[in-house]
Amino acid sequence: MSWIAVAIGGALGSVARHAVNLELGHRFERSVPYATLVVNIVGCLVIGLLAGLVAGGRLRRWTTVRTFRFVGVLGGFTTFSSFGLETVTVGHGGNHQAAMWNIVGQVGLGVGGVWLGFYLAL
């Protein structure tokens, strides 16, 4: 059942991301970097709110529903929100050095990977 939740949620998140891309592309005559910024900020805000509600006991931890929301919808919308939540969770647990290295590694190696892939394709 969790695979179906991820698939449906991912489809909805991807469609929402595409809608933001189209809307901001129309408004600003280009979507990058505005759409990426918007989906990353919105996705991080939503995942933070949901995680806070779960942690505070105000939102039940139904595995399939949680998977639908976190992995499916938000994963399809932006994986940056997962990166943000994981970084905050590690830092909140007291391991600030690991949180910092997660930021440096994910952003630095991610951008480096894009650069390397682009260079190799030329």
- How much is the mean pLDDT over the chain? 93
| Distance of alpha carbon 110 from alpha carbon 102, whole angstroms | 11
Asked if 28 and 55 count as a contact pair (C-beta separation under 8 A), the reply is: no
Instruction: Give the pLDDT of residue 9.
Output: 98
| Distance of alpha carbon 39 from alpha carbon 16, whole angstroms | 9
Percent of the chain at pLDDT > 90 equals 84
Instruction: Give the pLDDT of residue 101.
Output: 97
Tell me the average pLDDT across 66-85.
94
Instruction: Give the pLDDT of residue 22.
Output: 93
Model-level pTM?
A: 0.85
Asked if 81 and 106 count as a contact pair (C-beta separation under 8 A), the reply is: no
